Amino acid sequence: MARQQRIGRRAVVRAAGGALVAGAALAAGAARAQEPPVSLVGTWVITSTRAGSVPNGILVTVLPDGGFLRTGNTHPTESPAMGVWRQVEEGVYEVTYMALQFDATGKFIGHRKAWLRIPLDPSGDSFTGRGRVVMLDSSGAESPPVESEIQGTRMVPEPFG
């Protein structure tokens, strides 16, 4: 006949306490894993300020697959812009995009090409970054670059009523 081993109360309490600590650690890790990482993905309200011009209102949507969509206040002489983005450092992103340019009669006259460097603030809900823009005429000749400061705030859903 096999001999039964007795387990003391202290051993039971130690084992139960260890299980509780391990369970709490796993739950905390799962909660952190459910928090979305800070990312550029989303919709942004942006202001661009260049030397010698008034601030420019812009709406941007950054897609999770690397796509980038922009619209500003230059309609009808400029199309919405499309481009791509990539993360280059922790919380820092670079964007390249292009828009079609038209004269006052609607004739295509070239492209506007822009590069952005966007460092998100730690909350991930705003940024102050830099932009550089060139104009490309219909033959591809490039204008001198113009730099600007950009400031953005993430759009968030708001209650209906």
Within 13 Å of residue 26, how many CA atoms lie on the same side as its CB?
6
**Which pLDDT tens digit goes with each residue over 115-155?**
999 999 999 999 999 999 999 999 999 999 999 999 999 99
**Which pLDDT tens digit goes with each residue over 52-109?**
677 788 999 999 999 999 998 887 899 999 999 999 999 999 999 999 999 999 999 9
Q: Identify the residue with better confidence: 15 or 38.
A: 38
Measured distance CA(136)–CA(6) in Å, rounded: 85
Average pLDDT on 25-44 reads 67
Q: Identify the residue with better confidence: 126 or 22.
A: 126
Dihedral sign for Cα atoms in the order 151, 74, 103, 84:
positive
Residue 67: both structure tokens together: 């796509």
Quote the pLDDT of residue 73.
82
pTM: predicted TM-score of the whole model, two decimal places: 0.74
**3-state DSSP helix/strand/coil % of the chain, to nearest 5:** 15, 50, 35
Residue 28: both structure tokens together: 């905390």
Measured distance CA(134)–CA(103) in Å, rounded: 17
Phi and psi (nearest 5°) for 25?
-65, -40
Quote the pLDDT of residue 133.
95
| Residue 15's pLDDT band (cuts 50, 70, 90) | low
Going by C-alpha positions, the residue among 120, 99, 101 that lies closest to residue 109 is 101
